[in-house]
Amino acid sequence: MSSAVTAPPAKKASRRRLVERREARAGILFVLPVVILFLVFKLFPVLGGIGISLGDYKITGAFEFLGVENYQEMLTDSAFWDSFWVTVIYTVAVVPILMTIAISLAILVRRMGPFIKFFRAAYFVPSITSLVLAGAVFVWVFNAGGIIPRIGELFGGSGRSWLGHSTLALVAIIFVAVWGRFGFDMLVVLARLQDLPRELDEAALVDGANGWQRFWHITFPQLRPQLFFLVVIETTFSFQVFDVVYVMTGGGPAGSTNVLGMLLYEEAFRLFNFGYAAAIGVAMMILLVALALIQRAVMDRGSD
């Protein structure tokens, strides 16, 4: 009698385990293509780059193991440190400007009512434009005879090319980078703003809070996850900048815009120092991981 009573639960448990195994196999099959793509195009190239950075790799395929010599050379290379500081200056300028513009425009677009879709699409257009193409157009804008130098002449400027000036060239590149990225960041912030409940904001307004107080104490804390995501993404993009610099200045004048991406390109594909170039790439990866961890810690401390 007892076996007859316990049999149905045992069959149900066996059937449940069978279903779970089938679901697990189905899940693995769905995930497998992504895992393969990650291994082939992400993990293996990273491991290969680390391996190449530990030696002298020739274009013929010959490899000589050097240990950490490439990293020792990098730490004493003035060209590396010059490019590093140019990259830091570029990143420190681009990321805060992007965050400020994204938040400001998202708040403004949120109040556009029936025109919100139009402005949302209009501001996003630069984000789907190739920075290579945009850089080629802005070369004309910033060169002598272009729009910006001519506007400068109206205010007493010399009208010289910005791209030939050691300081203004980097400013021009920062402008183009911000122009090409602010739309994406604005959409991310706007999507979060549209999900925020208006009751807290309205209650604070009734209590006499002004616009800045409502933003800082109510809206901004609820944007922290999105802002952390954007800061990490934009820091990564900024530290890896190459295309717009290559098109607009090629690292000049006099190395004033020679970011780490340009230095890596020159070492690998002009001088064929593949091992040293790989060491630069590994150093950039380590720096970006460290920055992401620091940003995460800062955001977590701020949310406490």
In this structure, are 192 and 126 located in the same domain? Answer: yes
**For 6-58, how does the pLDDT look when each residue is reduced to its tens digit (9 = 90+)?**
456 777 777 788 877 888 888 888 889 988 998 888 889 889 999 999 999 88
In this structure, are 163 and 298 located in the same domain? Answer: yes
In this structure, are 196 and 253 located in the same domain? Answer: yes
Domain for residue 126, yes or no? yes
- Count structural domains, the chain: 2
Domain for residue 66, yes or no? no
What is the DSSP code string of the chain?
-HHHHHHHHHHHHHHHHHHHHHHHHHHHHHHHHHHHHHIIIIIHHHHHHHHHHTEEE-TTS-EEE-TTHHHHHHHT-HHHHHHHHHHHHHHHHHHHHHHHHHHHHHHHHHT-GGGHHHHHHHHHGGGGS-HHHHHHHHHHHHSTTSHHHHHHHHTT-----GGGSTTHHHHHHHHHHHHHHHHHHHHHHHHHHHHS-HHHHHHHHHTT--HHHHIIIIIHHHTHHHHHHHHHHHHHHHHT--HHHHHHTTT-STTTT--HHHHHHHHHHTS--HHHHHHHHHHHHHHHHHHHHHHHHHHHHHH-
Domain for residue 62, yes or no? no
**For 142-174, how does the pLDDT look when each residue is reduced to its tens digit (9 = 90+)?**
988 888 888 888 887 777 889 988 889 999 999
The answer to whether residue 97 scores a pLDDT higher than 80 is yes
Give the domain range for residue 31: 2-53
Better pLDDT: 98 or 146: 98
In this structure, are 87 and 122 located in the same domain? Answer: yes
pTM of the model: 0.85
